[in-house]
Amino acid sequence: MGKHNVNNFSDIEYIFLDRDGVLNRSLPSDRFITRWEEFELLPGVAGAIARLNRFGRKVIVVTNQRCVALGLCSETDLLALHERLQKELALQGAALDAIYYCPHDIGQCNCRKPLPGLFEQAFCDFPGANARNSVMVGDSLRDIEAGARLGMRTIFIDNAHNGGSRSPDADRAVAVASVVARSLPDCVQRYFPLEATD
């Protein structure tokens, strides 16, 4: 990927999103969202996803969910939470094309970001997707590193701008990311043109 394309997102067809801190409000770093009652969709997120849907972009979530490995919830609980998320988004005219999650603990797999396993699975399931036409949007260094390692453009969501907690590695993530946005709605408004894809 040439450096001249790093800030141009007009050719992006697949938007990979982290979950916690991008779609919903994160809990403090030592806590995990394990029930729908703890899940708070961030303002404007459904509208931003609906806009991407309307213009033919595929929206795919890739999320580390270590809470399963720690025994704080089951995979069934996690799938139920994601089903509720899809229903909530549908009420607002939005949809996620897929949700991929890593349920493992640190060092136990190839799918925990920043490792590439979740993306490799998505690239198999969506044969048109590749590093050149995809972008990773996340609020942590591991999100940005995951995308960058694959050669994807990356957008760092700096939660300090929307009242969220700033990740300890935010300065490094800002330095590594292609660009920075304040939130997912800000990201979509700034970087994705209102044009339908063929």
**Would you please indicate which residues are annotated as catalytic (active-site) residues?**
18, 20
Question: DSSP of 46-77, one letter per residue?
Answer: HHHHHHHHHTT-EEEEEEE-TTTTTTSS-HHH
In 3D space, the residue among 165, 198, 161 whose CA is nearest the CA of residue 182 turns out to be 161
16, exposed or middle or buried, with CB in 10 Å at 0-12, 13-18, 19+?
A: buried
In 3D space, the residue among 94, 89, 174 whose CA is nearest the CA of residue 139 turns out to be 174
Locate all alpha helices (DSSP H) within the chain, ordered by sequence. Answer: 45-54, 75-91, 117-125, 141-149, 170-176, 184-191
Question: What one-character DSSP code corresponds to residue 160?
Answer: G
